Amino acid sequence: MLRGDARGRVPDWGGGHSGRSGRRRRRPCCRGDAGLSICRGFQTEKDSLRSLTVSTMIHSLFLINSSGDIFLEKHWKSVVSRSVCDYFFEAQERATEAENVPPVIPTPHHYLLSVYRHKIFFVAVIQTEVPPLFVIEFLHRVVDTFQDYFGVCSEPVIKDNVVVVYEVLEEMLDNGFPLATESNILKELIKPPTILRTVVNTITGSTNVGDQLPTGQLSVVPWRRTGVKYTNNEAYFDVIEEIDAIIDKSGSTITAEIQGVIDACVKLTGMPDLTLSFMNPRLLDDVSFHPCVRFKRWESERILSFIPPDGNFRLLSYHVSAQNLVAIPVYVKHNISFRDSSSLGRFEITVGPKQTMGKTIEGVTVTSQMPRGVLNMSLTPSQGTHTFDPVTKMLSWDVGKINPQKLPSLKGTMSLQAGASKPDENPTINLQFKIQQLAISGLKVNRLDMYGEKYKPFKGIKYMTKAGKFQVRT
């Protein structure tokens, strides 16, 4: 146990120990410790004693909106009182922003693991030592599934489809063990709602629950059902790359890396066996594959060989790190100055193309969190529209396309709080953009072949580069 951990000797310093007595360590252990002692006090309650020995991966799930209402709860074992969420609310209150709520929160009897997506907290309650990544991955999968089923994942949509949601959750997890998490298979078990089906169901009394065992579930290719039929056979692959970068004041790159994915939409009849090869497979040294990809062939021949799932899926994701010299497609020239004496500051930024391989940069938006001392901004853009929210101090500029002949710029003044000293922190500029028909890493698909079926499919490859977390410090 942790006894004695919190009881530090005083004075508690003398050297190089910054972390020792620091917050990081105290937070989890004190909570845990206090928690354990509390629970000892409460062990008279028979049920809680009992529950100590229950071991389950995920015990319960609570869905909580950003105003702190629990709008859905699902228990895979005995019911855990929703009061357990009080610990979560406490943490939520402490965190300044929803994003900052810690993903693992200890309580006397349970651990709360949460993910925050679409402005909803998905809070899983667990009771024993389980791999937290397991739980968090699963929660993300739940969110993906909802999105897949209902198009969007939001509180009203979940409430509208509460019975389907419940059925899906039950199908995804049994006794805390994941059961069916492939959307292909789930959709065969529980059909997603469509307006037509709802109407038909109402009239005929039929159901949206499949009464056949999903065919793919136990085959060697659990991700694909049998008997798939299409009149038009098509396979599309999107190579999408996101650049994460930090650019310093002077414009040089501090870090840059590319997160790439190949998303596929495959609608092919029967059991097609595909191979996909690249012009420059050596770029891909850090890859994560969909389970359908045969790893051995990748190891030996550097080609992707797989029987695809039916429909949309992510074939692989990859990571090109800084060492491989990531090209930076845009630059930002900035001149932001706060003067000590005056209550006005100057603000000027210009965005221009850098290494774009001749492609156009589109969908550019610039956002920046201005310091608290900035009261308002009076700016003129050379193109696009801009807004400044004086409450959140968020500046955003929707630039649109960059025309290399006439670089977009945003100029003007900032009015600062009178008398206050010059802000300590400089705003960081966040950039969003898109470049069509370009994979910035240079990755190129060589060819796609199909075996196992006789027809000729229609094949398509699309490339796109986007900004991920692209930040320019000023």
Partner 1 sequence: MTDSKYFTTTKKGEIFELKAELNSDKKEKKKEAVKKVIASMTVGKDVSALFPDVVNCMQTDNLELKKLVYLYLMNYAKSQPDMAIMAVNTFVKDCEDPNPLIRALAVRTMGCIRVDKITEYLCEPLRKCLKDEDPYVRKTAAVCVAKLHDINAQLVEDQGFLDTLKDLISDSNPMVVANAVAALSEIAESHPSSNLLDLNPQSINKLLTALNECTEWGQIFILDCLANYTPKDDREAQSICERVTPRLSHANSAVVLSAVKVLMKFMEMLSKDLDYYGTLLKKLAPPLVTLLSAEPELQYVALRNINLIVQKRPEVLKHEMKVFFVKYNDPIYVKLEKLDIMIRLASQANIAQVLAELKEYATEVDVDFVRKAVRAIGRCAIKVEQSAERCVSTLLDLIQTKVNYVVQEAIVVIKDIFRKYPNKYESVIATLCENLDSLDEPEARAAMIWIVGEYAERIDNADELLESFLEGFHDESTQVQLQLLTAIVKLFLKKPTETQELVQQVLSLATQDSDNPDLRDRGYIYWRLLSTDPVAAKEVVLAEKPLISEETDLIEPTLLDELICYIGTLASVYHKPPSAFVEGGRGVVHKSLPPRTASSESTESPETAPAGAPPGEQLDAVPTQGDLLGDLLNLDLGPPVSGPPLAASAVQMGAVDLLGGGLDSLMGDEPEGIGAPSFVAPPAAAVPANLGAPMGSGLSDLFDLTSGVGTLSGSYVAPKAVWLPAMKAKGLEISGTFTRQAGTISMDLQLTNKALQVMTDFAIQFNRNSFGLAPAAPLQVHAPLSPTQTVEISLPLSTAGSVMKTEPLNSLQVAVKNNIDVFYFSTLYPLHILFVEDGKMDRQMFLATWKDIPNENEAQFQIRDCPLNAEAVSSRLQSSNIFTVARRNVEGQDMLYQSLKLTNGIWVLAELRIQPGNPSFTDLELSLKCRAPEVSQHVYQAYETILKN
Site for partner 1 in 245-304 (CB under 8 A): 246, 248, 254-255, 257, 259, 285-291, 295, 299
Residue 74 within binding range of partner 1, rule CB under 8 A: yes
- How many residues interact with partner 1 (rule CB under 8 A)? 129
Two structure tokens written together for 384: 């696009």
- Taking CB under 8 A as the criterion, the residue among 26, 30, 89, 104 binding partner 1 is 104
Residue 377 within binding range of partner 1, rule CB under 8 A: no
CB of 243 to partner 1, least distance (A): 11
Residue 177 within binding range of partner 1, rule CB under 8 A: yes
Give the C-alpha separation, 58 to 134, whole Å.
10
Residue 474 within binding range of partner 1, rule CB under 8 A: no
152, 193 contact by CB (below 8 A): no
Which has the closest alpha carbon to 237: 466, 460, 465, 464? 460
CB of 438 to partner 1, least distance (A): 20
**In this chain, which stretch among 191-199, 232-240, 334-342, 379-387 interacts with partner 1, using CB under 8 A?**
191-199
CB of 408 to partner 1, least distance (A): 23
Nearer to partner 1, 22 or 151 (CB): 22
- Taking CB under 8 A as the criterion, the residue among 87, 88, 116, 347 binding partner 1 is 116
Residue 70 within binding range of partner 1, rule CB under 8 A: yes
- Taking CB under 8 A as the criterion, the residue among 319, 346, 359, 466 binding partner 1 is 319
Residue 213 within binding range of partner 1, rule CB under 8 A: yes
CB of 255 to partner 1, least distance (A): 4
Residues 24-63, mask of contacts with partner 1 (x by CB under 8 A):
x---xx--x---x--x------------xxxxx-------
**In this chain, which stretch among 108-116, 328-336, 354-362, 382-390 interacts with partner 1, using CB under 8 A?**
108-116
Which has the closest alpha carbon to 433: 404, 411, 465? 465
Nearer to partner 1, 20 or 462 (CB): 20
Nearer to partner 1, 208 or 383 (CB): 208
**In this chain, which stretch among 194-202, 264-272, 338-346, 358-366 interacts with partner 1, using CB under 8 A?**
194-202
Residue 131 within binding range of partner 1, rule CB under 8 A: yes
- Taking CB under 8 A as the criterion, the residue among 26, 34, 89, 134 binding partner 1 is 134
Residue 109 within binding range of partner 1, rule CB under 8 A: yes
Give the C-alpha separation, 50 to 370, whole Å.
53
Residue 83 within binding range of partner 1, rule CB under 8 A: no
Q: Which residues, 401 to 460, sit near partner 1 by CB under 8 A?
A: 424-426, 428, 430
